[in-house]
Amino acid sequence: MSGLTVCVLGENPVDQINIHTAKTHLSRLVDRAAKGQPFIIAKAGKPLVQVTAIPVPSAKERLGFMKGHVTVPDDFDTMGRETIACMFGDDRQ
């Protein structure tokens, strides 16, 4: 990919890509950034923006967040059986 230089951001070397090359290869560059390889888009050699992945919390963090706060009654599966049967015309009750 032409239009690529390496610059140092803090202590880490980061690819710097000119804006024309970034437009041409945007999908590939975004995939790289999402995998943890940030890059900088430059115009006329001047850095304009840094593209990095957005941290996404894992689904694991939500599991069990209500543990100990909610109880399920033993008859949960049969609660309201008669009412539901009446509403939908089931005579089996």
Q: Binning pLDDT at 50, 70 and 90, where does residue 51 land?
A: very high
For the range 35-38, what are the long-range contacts, defined as Cβ-Cβ under 8 Å and sequence gap of 24 or more? Answer: 38/9, 38/14
Specify the CATH number for the domain of residue 11: 3.40.1620
Residue 74 lies in a domain: no
Mean pLDDT score across all residues of the chain: 83
pLDDT at residue 2, as a whole number: 60
pTM of the predicted model, to two decimals?
0.52
Residue 44 lies in a domain: yes
Q: Binning pLDDT at 50, 70 and 90, where does residue 64 land?
A: confident
Residue 73 lies in a domain: no
Count of domains observed in the chain: 1
Residue 83 lies in a domain: no
Tell me which amino acid residue 36 is: G
Using left for φ > 0, alpha for ψ between -120 and 50, and beta otherwise, residue 75 falls in alpha
Residue 31 lies in a domain: yes
pLDDT at residue 62, as a whole number: 72
pLDDT at residue 55, as a whole number: 87
How confident is the model over 9-42, as pLDDT tens digits?
555 678 899 999 999 999 999 999 999 999 999 9
Tell me the residue range of the domain where 18 lies.
Answer: 4-51
Residue 17 lies in a domain: yes
